[in-house]
Amino acid sequence: MLADVFRQTIARGLQRKAIRTCSKWARLYRIMGPPHPGPWGPGPAPWTLDMHDSLAPVNIGQKSAQMGYTETALNITLYKIDIENLDCLYVLPAKTPDASEFSAARFDPAIELSTHISSMFSSVKNVGHKRAGAVNLYIRGSNSRSALKSIPVAFIVFDELDEMNQDNIPLAEERTSGRENPQIWKISTPTLPNEGINELFLESTQEHYEFICPFCSRIIELIWPDAIKIIGDHHSNCEDSHLQCPKCKHKLDHETKTIWLADGKWTPYGDASLDVRGFYINQLYSIKRRPEEVVKLYFKGLIDKASEQEFFNSKLGLPHIVKGAQVQAHEVNRARGSRRKDDPLPDNKIITMGVDQGRWLYYEIVAWDFESLGNDLNMSAKANVLAEGKVVDFEDLDVLMRQYQVLKCVIDAQPDRRKAYEFACKYWGHVLLCFYARGQMGKMITIDPSTEQHKITVDRTSWLDVSLNRFRLKTITLPQDLSEEYPEHIQNLVKHYKTDKYGNPMGEYRNMGPDHLAHAHCYAEIALPLAAALTTNKNVRIYL
């Protein structure tokens, strides 16, 4: 009896010594639940095998949804803890619900199904901090700076990077400073071109998963649209669409995928000598999801913007800007009028100013033209931009308030709330601090009932829609001597479409670079109905 235990212990010890790679470790210790129960194997996601064993210090995964990248990152994390005794940090977009869901839906099943993994951990109750003997696993949301401080680790995963608070990513990365050979994984479904995961991928080896066509024996890749034979012309009649070899056009059966994908290889399309490896994959590779689902969403995307965005981002794993989601250069150019910034002011106009706080104070000053003051004022009014630009401090805003006889100014409340507040007190009734919020209905403007707060709350997407749509609707005139930054900032705000948890399409503006003047432009727009309410002494609601 004792001899048996002794033999088993020796055997286990030898077995552990033989584990030099993460994929070996996962095959031995990781037990999966449904839909592929049993010991882990690369079968359901063959492209992840080589990813498990990457030794690159930085690894970038640009992917479509549900391609096994999170499972891979979890395996590597557990391997680092078990075999290399390294402290690890797993970062998700938010603490709630992402970090708690990850802990319950990914981490807990991994320990429940494997006696080895469950024996590794001495304490797992805390959602954000699991202990494996002297080694720590931190699971954190990117939205809290304090949760990312003072935790030294040698391995970090950023999961769904494009949804994270981008400002806090460098803070998390600093956690590896001073550690020998740290490794970082960043994975995400992409959003916009040259942003987030896509920007990082473009600076990597840019590897694609290639394999040999079972019919023509040439090296091929499953890419849209070459690798798909579309049958039908609508999302309701395309179920016979199927995969095909992009070279010999022979049908590739979805059912036999595991066979012909098994010997695939990651091939660099970028600079192979880089020590940042990038892994790109799309849903045509999915063993689980059928290719006709991709075709279905393609047809849906032809009629609605949220589906178009989802088709490119979540199915093809590609960044994408939906048509009309970004103001075009020619739309800004054609808005230029003959007026120059220091020409005399037009008579008898309502004049508003929007101010966005950044390293500078960015402003836009608008004189408004409208037939009559009434409901939905922003839709009927035309904007004549008198001036735009940036100044150093709040004293400079005083000069602008007087020079342009600004009736109402809306200013970004952040980051210097105190200075903005002092400015509002100085021009009591003429300046409001603006907070962007979610869950506000459309163009509502919620005015804080205590007037001494000088505070309003608005829905970000709705008001950016109204103010940026002016360029398409040709209801804006810009000064001839526009700053160089202005067109750039306006174009840097791009609407990204999503479907919310109830399946409703929603949009959110993301920036592809500096966007302060675009926000100043938006605040000047918000100021219009507030100015109208001030001159008529009526509730702002009647102008919305």
Instruction: Work out how close the CB of 222 gets to Zn ion at its nearest, in angstroms, rounded to a whole number.
Output: 12
- Which residue lies nearer to Zn ion by CB, 16 or 247? 247
The owner of tokens 């993994």 is 117
Q: Please check whether residue 527 is in contact with residue 408, taking contact to mean a CB–CB distance below 8 angstroms.
A: yes
Binding region for Zn ion (CB under 5 A) out of 94-102, 241-249, 368-376, 525-533:
241-249
State how far the Cα of 364 lies from the Cα of 379, in Å rounded to an integer. 19
Helices (H), 144-256: 169-173, 196-202
- Which residue lies nearer to Zn ion by CB, 260 or 368? 260
State how far the Cα of 308 lies from the Cα of 314, in Å rounded to an integer. 10
- Which residue lies nearer to Zn ion by CB, 10 or 248? 248
Instruction: Work out how close the CB of 264 gets to Zn ion at its nearest, in angstroms, rounded to a whole number.
Output: 14
- Which residue lies nearer to Zn ion by CB, 216 or 473? 216
6 alpha-carbon distance from chain centroid: 53
Q: Please check whether residue 369 is in contact with residue 360, taking contact to mean a CB–CB distance below 8 angstroms.
A: no
* Coil vs helix vs strand at 328: coil
State how far the Cα of 229 lies from the Cα of 243, in Å rounded to an integer. 6
Q: Please check whether residue 367 is in contact with residue 349, taking contact to mean a CB–CB distance below 8 angstroms.
A: yes
- Which residue lies nearer to Zn ion by CB, 111 or 213? 213
- Which residue lies nearer to Zn ion by CB, 215 or 427? 215
The owner of tokens 């739309």 is 331
**Per-residue H/E/C for 434-459:** EEEECCCCCCCEEECCCHHHCEEEEE
Binding region for Zn ion (CB under 5 A) out of 190-198, 240-248, 322-330, 454-462:
240-248
Binding region for Zn ion (CB under 5 A) out of 150-158, 215-223, 351-359, 388-396:
215-223
Our finding on whether 31 is near Zn ion (CB under 5 A) is no
Instruction: Work out how close the CB of 213 gets to Zn ion at its nearest, in angstroms, rounded to a whole number.
Output: 3
455-459 and 445-447 as β-strands: parallel, antiparallel, unpaired?
Answer: antiparallel
Binding region for Zn ion (CB under 5 A) out of 138-146, 182-190, 207-215, 439-447:
207-215
- Which residue lies nearer to Zn ion by CB, 149 or 251? 251
Instruction: Work out how close the CB of 250 gets to Zn ion at its nearest, in angstroms, rounded to a whole number.
Output: 5
Instruction: Work out how close the CB of 252 gets to Zn ion at its nearest, in angstroms, rounded to a whole number.
Output: 8
Q: Please check whether residue 91 is in contact with residue 161, taking contact to mean a CB–CB distance below 8 angstroms.
A: no
Our finding on whether 245 is near Zn ion (CB under 5 A) is yes
- Which residue lies nearer to Zn ion by CB, 248 or 303? 248
Our finding on whether 219 is near Zn ion (CB under 5 A) is no
- Which residue lies nearer to Zn ion by CB, 213 or 223? 213
Instruction: Work out how close the CB of 239 gets to Zn ion at its nearest, in angstroms, rounded to a whole number.
Output: 23
- Which residue lies nearer to Zn ion by CB, 247 or 288? 247
Binding region for Zn ion (CB under 5 A) out of 173-181, 213-221, 339-347, 463-471:
213-221
In the list 56, 111, 202, 213, the residue contacting Zn ion (rule: CB under 5 A) is 213
State how far the Cα of 452 lies from the Cα of 229, in Å rounded to an integer. 65
State how far the Cα of 191 lies from the Cα of 161, in Å rounded to an integer. 10
Q: Please check whether residue 481 is in contact with residue 292, taking contact to mean a CB–CB distance below 8 angstroms.
A: no
Binding region for Zn ion (CB under 5 A) out of 11-19, 214-222, 368-376, 408-416:
214-222
Our finding on whether 223 is near Zn ion (CB under 5 A) is no
- Which residue lies nearer to Zn ion by CB, 216 or 379? 216
State how far the Cα of 433 lies from the Cα of 455, in Å rounded to an integer. 5
Instruction: Work out how close the CB of 246 gets to Zn ion at its nearest, in angstroms, rounded to a whole number.
Output: 8
In the list 248, 303, 329, 437, the residue contacting Zn ion (rule: CB under 5 A) is 248
State how far the Cα of 42 lies from the Cα of 469, in Å rounded to an integer. 48
Backbone angles phi, psi at 105, to 5 degrees: -95, -20
Closest C-alpha to 264, from 211, 216, 217, 208 = 211
Instruction: Work out how close the CB of 251 gets to Zn ion at its nearest, in angstroms, rounded to a whole number.
Output: 10
State how far the Cα of 470 lies from the Cα of 382, in Å rounded to an integer. 8
State how far the Cα of 81 lies from the Cα of 58, in Å rounded to an integer. 18
Instruction: Work out how close the CB of 298 gets to Zn ion at its nearest, in angstroms, rounded to a whole number.
Output: 23
147 alpha-carbon distance from chain centroid: 20
Instruction: Work out how close the CB of 217 gets to Zn ion at its nearest, in angstroms, rounded to a whole number.
Output: 7
- Which residue lies nearer to Zn ion by CB, 88 or 261? 261
Closest C-alpha to 77, from 65, 63, 67, 87 = 87
CB within 8 A of 508, min separation 6: which ones? 460, 461, 495, 496, 498
Q: Which helix (H) or strand (E) holds 517?
A: helix 516-536
Binding region for Zn ion (CB under 5 A) out of 182-190, 243-251, 288-296, 377-385:
243-251
Q: Please check whether residue 502 is in contact with residue 490, taking contact to mean a CB–CB distance below 8 angstroms.
A: no
Binding region for Zn ion (CB under 5 A) out of 101-109, 210-218, 266-274, 357-365:
210-218
Binding region for Zn ion (CB under 5 A) out of 186-194, 239-247, 469-477, 517-525:
239-247
Instruction: Work out how close the CB of 209 gets to Zn ion at its nearest, in angstroms, rounded to a whole number.
Output: 16
Q: Please check whether residue 87 is in contact with residue 212, taking contact to mean a CB–CB distance below 8 angstroms.
A: no
Instruction: Work out how close the CB of 241 gets to Zn ion at its nearest, in angstroms, rounded to a whole number.
Output: 18
Binding region for Zn ion (CB under 5 A) out of 17-25, 78-86, 211-219, 358-366:
211-219
SS3 content of the chain, % helix, strand, coil (to 5): 40, 25, 40
In the list 28, 151, 215, 447, the residue contacting Zn ion (rule: CB under 5 A) is 215
Closest C-alpha to 50, from 277, 338, 351, 385 = 277
Side chain identity, residue 403 = Q
Instruction: Work out how close the CB of 284 gets to Zn ion at its nearest, in angstroms, rounded to a whole number.
Output: 15
- Which residue lies nearer to Zn ion by CB, 291 or 479? 291
In the list 11, 104, 216, 345, the residue contacting Zn ion (rule: CB under 5 A) is 216
* Residues near Zn ion (CB under 5 A), total: 6
- Which residue lies nearer to Zn ion by CB, 127 or 213? 213
- The residues binding Zn ion (CB under 5 A) are 213, 215-216, 245, 247-248
